A and B are shown apart, each in its own frame.
Chain A
Amino acid sequence: MGKKRRAAILPTNIILLQNVVRRDPESYHEEFVQQYSHYESLRDIFLLNPSADQGTDFADLIGFVSAVCGCYPKETAKFPDELKNILLNNHRSLTPDVREKIIQCLTMLRNKDIISAESLILTLFPLLEAYSSNSQNASTSSHHAKAVRSQIYSTLVLLLKAVNTGAKNQKINRSTQALLFNMLEQRDGRGLWATKLTRELWRRGIWDDSRTVEIMSQAALHSDVKVSVAGARFFLGADKERNDALEDDLSDDESFDMNALKHKAQHNKKSGKRGKKIEQALKTMKKKNNAKISATYLNFSAIHLLRDPQGFAERLFTDHLTNKNANRYNLEQKILFMNLISRLVGTHKLTVLGLYSYFLKYLTPKQRDVTQIMASAAQASHDLVPPESINSVVRKIADEFVSDGVSTEVAAAGLNTIREILARAPLAIEQPLLHDLVEYKGSKAKAVMMAARSLVSLYREVAPEMLHRRDRGKVASLELQSGEKKGLPVFGIESSTVTTIPGLELLSKWRQEQGEQDENADENDENWAVVLQDEEEESEVEGDWVTMDSDKEYNISDSDDEEKEDKTNDNKDEDDSDLELSDDENVKESTDAAEDADQPAKKKQKTVATDSTAAMNELLSSRILTPADFAKLEELRVQAGVDKLIGKKQHNEEAIDSTSLLGQVKYKQLREERIAHAREGREDREKFGSKKGKRDAPHSTTNKEKARKKNFVMMIHKKAVQGKQKLSLRDRQRVLRAHITKQKKKGH
């Protein structure tokens, strides 16, 4: 057979044609036109009777045309619009395969940039609405609806991800979010897809702004049960999800250890190839850091990005918990809302006074899932709520949970909850009740005893005066005697205002001890080098907000400031003199500030205070604190035990784990567990175990063993046996003794 020219082979199926057309669109133009007209006639046939089953031809041709669409832009100008129209108008009568194919093709066209992302989103959204699970139309709620939904959903997520790689495409984000808002405005369950989409995009870090959070807050206030629950779940769990996803990504990429590479580079023979390898690794490392943990990626939690937390919390409370139709929700959902509201109240220190009396109804030991309700009650308390409101909760818990008549588990849970509440709002309990509760420290149950003790140690820290003298402990008593403690906290006065850099006096003292040998430490470059910390440490530092009052003046030592000063004083002759001048101002300001701060705490010894402030001023005015200084400061504070006991600070933002409220409960083990436990202890200890049934060396049965196993009936008439009965008491004793000594000699 002669060779045929490859180009001359006429394509007889559509895949082959697609292949050759893509290679050489010019020469196969007429074939394409023919197939396009075939597509047109099939399309007309389809439109004639959309519901009829035409086989796979139509879907194949759609795929073909959209695959080669880019080669013939002029001929196929109308094609995307036709597809869109078919999908939007006839999606009910399309067969599932064709529908899937059209969506696929539209996505393909989008990827080839033939249609815009907006138009694709506008095409897909109506479908998502039409096929949502509780739409009334029977044709859209068939079993194919689920496949359609998931296809559209994944398409949308991928599309938005693609659009937002690199820089965020705010225009498309905004228009999509507007569509989601519209979906949420309808009062049926369609909004569920808005929440799903938003949650997924939030999880992937594609959307992370306050508009996104606004969508979810709308969803949480939605009248439909599913939607509102999905919204609430988002606020409670989405941030953890996002961080997990991010960590997964990071750990997945971590294919090499940078430190090991550097170390190897130091010792191995230097070669161009190795050097390049290191450079490459460094580059990827930098890229990763830039992309993932860059400044543009703001990792605010959803709750922090809320625009009106007070209004949101109030509406959640009135709409979903106290309203007449609150009984639409079952207990789990109600608990979900309680949890969300209490998180909001705790994080933003909001005032929703009705919440505390609402909790009262549920706080009984028989209540299902009561620990979760208790956890939310604890989360909802903070120091800006009037103590009377929280007091009722504490009293109720004490009455219901902590008494002699209840089980130890219940009492421990009650005490732990009370401790959590009081850690956030120490004033919410009267002294007599506290004394009563503290009495449980002598309980026989370990969990109860530990819970009571933790209560004691909490009050030793915050208000030892409220405890009995005997419970105060050494440190607190000494502090009380010396008058260091400021007395009972008062409602409405913040005790934790920070006016200076905490622990600065420690630093100055340390520097004096060091003899100030490094006078110009701030000019040394090494001290400015920021030590790369682990992520955990960084986040801790981030969490440590410093409270700033607007009506007070602070002196902030900043290099920028000094530069400014330098500029203003440029015309002065000597640097020293102008530094001194500015120093004087600083001293005045800072002493004022310090005095302001000290006013509420009159008991503090004046001399100590002035000493520390003077030292501080001296330090602050003489030099600029370097990162090295701050690191030292942190270390000194730890040494001095400033940050001791119950963590650094009570974080209102932290969620309480309801399981921790129960304390450590040790249930009685099952038999199997006990046996397994014992077995575990016996492993690798054969030497100490019984030797029964084991032989050191293999041998046949000894006479002794035979005698021992001999049938009892055969032995009973023997003299050796019968004689034993007839032995005198004394002889019997002697035999027994001899046996014992023999056994002992054998070593058993």
Chain B
Amino acid sequence: MGSKKKRAEKKKDFQKTKLRVGKTAARPDNYTDTSFTAKSISLPNQTIAKPKQGATTNNGGDVDLAHHLQLVKHHSASTRKEVLAFIEAHLPSNSASYKQILTVTLSLLTDQSESVRSAFVSLLSACADRQPGFLQLHMRSIVLFVHSAMSHIRGDVRATSTQALDILITKAASSLVSGFLVKTLRSFFSLLSWTLSDDKKAVSLAVNTTASLGGVTKKTRARHLAVLARLLQATLFVDDSEKSGTDWTRCSVVHPQTPQFMIPQNPQAFAQLKLFVEELPSQRASSGASGNGTYTLSDVDAVSTEDIETRRKVIEDVFLSPLRKNLVATSKDGGEVGAEASKCLQILDKFEGELKAQRAEE
């Protein structure tokens, strides 16, 4: 027989506990606390935001690219390239998803692998073809990345950087030169290891970065120069092909300057005002043209190059003489590079000739 204590304990198991006023009932032995605290509760299978993953194609016949966009940051270069090719092949019809594609893939402009970079360039041009106005809309961010690639520390990244710029010039030249001309030209100077100012200490890059050392082959240099020539062409001369619709100068019913006061046709026409862009405050007061009406190297950054007159003035005041000096030096090298350089020189000559004619008229 068990002891008295044990018997009492056994008996207690079968006794009913009394409920008392003002006290909470005792919890049973097998009670499990299931309460928990969490900052937010999400039920992924009940979400209404995303359609079911099961089908690879949705109603429009488009491929769902969400998965592929994640793979864009894959560690293997070949995967990245293939993903880009896949996206290019399955570009969606819905224009809304292009922004997402661009923001995800844009950083591949400075990718380590050359094949990825060229795949991205072809994707960019494909996007531009599918969506008119695409480049104009995202010009700001694309140009920023192009500049970043042009000043990249790796030579091969720099070498391919003008491919993307070339697409911009071919497909959206006006919005490029009207918004980002000065910085692009500056980037060109550092890309081609030319110097803008005549400082003594500014000669180092020109000495060090010869083609034999930095891996900058003559071919890439020629490519850069070709792009530069197209940029100059787009900057200095009005492209007649883009002119559309009515010729306002002939118009007699309304005032000939009316188009300047109409709502602009191109996307993000007021981007220059930087109303919705976060930028660091710059200490330098943007003064526009200095006292004698000519721009200098220091204040040219703040100038808006919206119209062709300003662009021409900027080129004439700041960039013309260093460009000419360096191009002449390059054209003496001969070969493909020399030919491209002399092409650029021809454009500049044409520009100067027009200028002289203009001056003579006045």
Q: How far is the CA of A85 from the CA of B148 in the complex (A)?
A: 21
Q: How far is the CA of A78 from the CA of B144 in the complex (A)?
A: 20
Taking CB as reference atom, which chain A residue is nearest B39? A138
Taking CB as reference atom, which chain B residue is nearest A42? B148
Within 8 A of B (CB), among A355-401: none
With A8-B213, A43-B280 known to touch, is A34 a contact of B190 (CB < 8 Å)?
yes
B208 touches A37 (CB 8 A): no
Taking CB as reference atom, which chain B residue is nearest A81? B283
**B331 contacts the other chain (Cβ, under 8 Å)?**
no
B153 touches A13 (CB 8 A): yes
Pick the contact of A33: B190, B206, B208 (CB < 8 A): B190
B205 touches A12 (CB 8 A): no
Interface centre among B141, B148, B199, B278 (most CB of A within 10 A): B148
**B324 contacts the other chain (Cβ, under 8 Å)?**
no
Q: How far is the CA of A45 from the CA of B143 in the complex (A)?
A: 10
With A33-B190, A44-B279, A47-B279 known to touch, is A10 a contact of B155 (CB < 8 Å)?
yes
With A41-B148, A48-B144 known to touch, is A8 a contact of B208 (CB < 8 Å)?
yes
Tell me the smallest distance from the CB of B74 to a CB of chain A, in Å. 14
**A513 contacts the other chain (Cβ, under 8 Å)?**
no
Q: Which range contains the number of A residues in contact with the other chain? A: 35 or more
Pick the contact of A37: B140, B187, B281 (CB < 8 A): B187
Pick the contact of B190: A10, A12, A37, A85 (CB < 8 A): A37
CB neighbours of B147 from chain A (8 A): 37, 41
A38 touches B204 (CB 8 A): no
With A30-B204, A30-B205 known to touch, is A41 a contact of B279 (CB < 8 Å)?
no
Taking CB as reference atom, which chain B residue is nearest A45? B144
**A54 contacts the other chain (Cβ, under 8 Å)?**
yes
Q: How far is the CA of A11 from the CA of B155 in the complex (A)?
A: 10
A29 touches B190 (CB 8 A): no
Taking CB as reference atom, which chain A residue is nearest B210? A8
Pick the contact of B195: A28, A30, A55, A57 (CB < 8 A): A30
Tell me the smallest distance from the CB of A137 to a CB of chain B, in Å. 13
Tell me the smallest distance from the CB of A253 to a CB of chain B, in Å. 47
With A29-B204, A85-B280 known to touch, is A12 a contact of B151 (CB < 8 Å)?
no
Interface of A is mostly: helix
Within 8 A of A (CB), among B184-214: 186-187, 190, 193, 195, 199, 201-206, 208-209, 213-214
With A34-B151, A41-B147 known to touch, is A7 a contact of B208 (CB < 8 Å)?
yes
Q: How far is the CA of A41 from the CA of B213 in the complex (A)?
A: 26
A30 touches B155 (CB 8 A): no
With A8-B213, A11-B153, A86-B280 known to touch, is A48 a contact of B141 (CB < 8 Å)?
yes
CB neighbours of A49 from chain B (8 A): 103, 141
CB neighbours of B281 from chain A (8 A): 85
**B154 contacts the other chain (Cβ, under 8 Å)?**
yes
**A31 contacts the other chain (Cβ, under 8 Å)?**
yes
**A284 contacts the other chain (Cβ, under 8 Å)?**
no
Taking CB as reference atom, which chain B residue is nearest A27? B204
CB neighbours of B202 from chain A (8 A): 29-30
B282 touches A78 (CB 8 A): yes
**B152 contacts the other chain (Cβ, under 8 Å)?**
yes
Tell me the smallest distance from the CB of B105 to a CB of chain A, in Å. 13
With A26-B201, A54-B107, A86-B280 known to touch, is A10 a contact of B209 (CB < 8 Å)?
yes
Query: Scoring B residues 274 to 305 as 1 if CB is less than 8 Å from chain A, else 0, what string do you get?
Result: 00011111110000000000000000000000
B153 touches A28 (CB 8 A): no
Pick the contact of B153: A38, A55, A81 (CB < 8 A): A38
Q: How far is the CA of A81 from the CA of B110 in the complex (A)?
A: 27
CB neighbours of B186 from chain A (8 A): 37
**A17 contacts the other chain (Cβ, under 8 Å)?**
yes
A12 touches B187 (CB 8 A): no
Within 8 A of A (CB), among B101-160: 103, 107, 110, 140-141, 144-145, 147-148, 151-155
Tell me the smallest distance from the CB of B296 to a CB of chain A, in Å. 16
Taking CB as reference atom, which chain B residue is nearest A31? B205
Q: How far is the CA of A43 from the CA of B151 in the complex (A)?
A: 13
Q: How far is the CA of A706 from the CA of B199 in the complex (A)?
A: 114
Tell me the smallest distance from the CB of B232 to a CB of chain A, in Å. 20
Q: How far is the CA of A662 from the CA of B110 in the complex (A)?
A: 75
CB neighbours of A17 from chain B (8 A): 153
**A82 contacts the other chain (Cβ, under 8 Å)?**
yes
Within 8 A of B (CB), among A76-93: 78, 81-82, 85-86, 89
CB neighbours of A147 from chain B (8 A): none
CB neighbours of B195 from chain A (8 A): 30
B208 touches A10 (CB 8 A): yes
**A35 contacts the other chain (Cβ, under 8 Å)?**
yes
B280 touches A47 (CB 8 A): yes
Tell me the smallest distance from the CB of B45 to a CB of chain A, in Å. 25
**A291 contacts the other chain (Cβ, under 8 Å)?**
no
Query: Scoring A residues 658 to 693 as 1 if CB is less than 8 Å from chain B, else 0, what string do you get?
Result: 000000000000000000000000000000000000
Q: How far is the CA of A89 from the CA of B279 in the complex (A)?
A: 11
CB neighbours of B145 from chain A (8 A): 41, 45
CB neighbours of A44 from chain B (8 A): 144, 279
Q: How far is the CA of A90 from the CA of B338 in the complex (A)?
A: 47
CB neighbours of B151 from chain A (8 A): 34-35, 37-38, 41
CB neighbours of A14 from chain B (8 A): 153
CB neighbours of A35 from chain B (8 A): 151, 153
Q: How far is the CA of A27 from the CA of B152 in the complex (A)?
A: 19
Within 8 A of B (CB), among A421-443: none
Taking CB as reference atom, which chain B residue is nearest A86? B280
Query: Scoring A residues 70 to 107 as 1 if CB is less than 8 Å from chain B, else 0, what string do you get?
Result: 00000000100110011001000000000000000000
CB neighbours of A89 from chain B (8 A): 278
B208 touches A34 (CB 8 A): no
B201 touches A29 (CB 8 A): yes
A38 touches B152 (CB 8 A): yes
Interface centre among A10, A27, A28, A49 (most CB of B within 10 A): A10
CB neighbours of B140 from chain A (8 A): 48
B280 touches A45 (CB 8 A): no
Q: How far is the CA of A729 from the CA of B107 in the complex (A)?
A: 116
Taking CB as reference atom, which chain A residue is nearest B152? A38
B155 touches A12 (CB 8 A): yes
CB neighbours of A13 from chain B (8 A): 153
CB neighbours of A33 from chain B (8 A): 190
Q: How far is the CA of A496 from the CA of B201 in the complex (A)?
A: 82
With A10-B155, A13-B153, A38-B148 known to touch, is A31 a contact of B204 (CB < 8 Å)?
yes
Tell me the smallest distance from the CB of A294 to a CB of chain B, in Å. 45
Within 8 A of B (CB), among A16-40: 17, 26-31, 33-35, 37-38
CB neighbours of B278 from chain A (8 A): 47-48, 50, 89
Taking CB as reference atom, which chain B residue is nearest A24? B204
Pick the contact of A28: B204, B282, B283 (CB < 8 A): B204
Taking CB as reference atom, which chain A residue is nearest B154? A12
Taking CB as reference atom, which chain B residue is nearest A43? B280
Taking CB as reference atom, which chain B residue is nearest A48? B141
Q: How far is the CA of A12 from the CA of B156 in the complex (A)?
A: 10
CB neighbours of A8 from chain B (8 A): 208, 213
Query: Scoring A residues 406 to 424 as 1 if CB is less than 8 Å from chain B, else 0, what string do you get?
Result: 0000000000000000000
Taking CB as reference atom, which chain B residue is nearest A37? B151
Taking CB as reference atom, which chain A residue is nearest B146? A41
Interface centre among B141, B145, B280, B281 (most CB of A within 10 A): B280
B141 touches A45 (CB 8 A): yes
23 A–B pairs (Cβ distance < 8 Å), ordered by A: A8-B213, A10-B213, A10-B214, A14-B153, A26-B201, A26-B204, A27-B204, A29-B201, A29-B205, A30-B204, A31-B204, A33-B190, A37-B151, A37-B190, A38-B151, A42-B148, A48-B144, A48-B277, A49-B141, A50-B278, A57-B110, A81-B283, A86-B280
With A34-B153, A34-B205, A57-B110 known, 4 other A-B pairs at CB within 8 A are: A29-B201, A31-B204, A43-B280, A55-B107
Q: Using a CB–CB distance below 8 Å, which chain B residues touch chain A? A: 103, 107, 110, 140-141, 144-145, 147-148, 151-155, 186-187, 190, 193, 195, 199, 201-206, 208-209, 213-214, 277-283
3 A-B pairs with the lowest CB-CB distances in the bound complex, closest first = A30-B205, A38-B151, A41-B148
